[in-house]
Amino acid sequence: MFAIGNVQQKGLAHLFALCYAYDYDYYHHKYSIGVMMRNALQQRDGERATFLGTFERMGTKRGWAGDEPTVLLKDIRTPDGTPICNHLWFNRTKAFAALGLVPGDVIQFDARVKEYEKGYKGRREDVYVPIEIDYKLSHPTKVRKVEQ
């Protein structure tokens, strides 16, 4: 695949909206950083476009007011089939919730590629996760199921 090493899973909040290429040990929670995939997003920074993804499962992340529901999409690609990233998490908005998703559903949506800072910004001295620039898809609209 296009992986360069395993990264220890640090929870859903850490993985939210990050694009990682996974190896075949995905279900055992070992992740690999997909260098090619980050480049695909970086090249589209600021662009709003249409994307496709396959629904994998629902999840949660820790939020200010408690756990917040999320949606995991895998195999994110453009409508012409160009791979963008292996998987990413979205907040479960009303648009996602209204679809009645089951694993394997193909979802089409419009989203903007945005840069963001990832890493630990707290005050604990025993936690070291350096601040880095990464890319995500944000503000999904026109979310709908696609006939397979």
- Domain count of the fold of the chain: 1
pLDDT value of residue 38: 65
Q: Is 13 helix (H, G, I), strand (E, B) or coil?
A: helix
On whether the CB atoms of residues 142 and 108 are closer than 8 A, the answer is: yes
pLDDT value of residue 36: 45
Distance of CA 102 to the CA centre of its chain: 18
CATH of the domain at 83: 2.40.50
pLDDT value of residue 80: 92
Owning domain of residue 12: 3-146
pLDDT value of residue 62: 86
> For each successive 10 residues of the chain (148 residues), what is the average pLDDT?
37 38 38 52 81 92 88 92 88 91 94 86 84 87 88
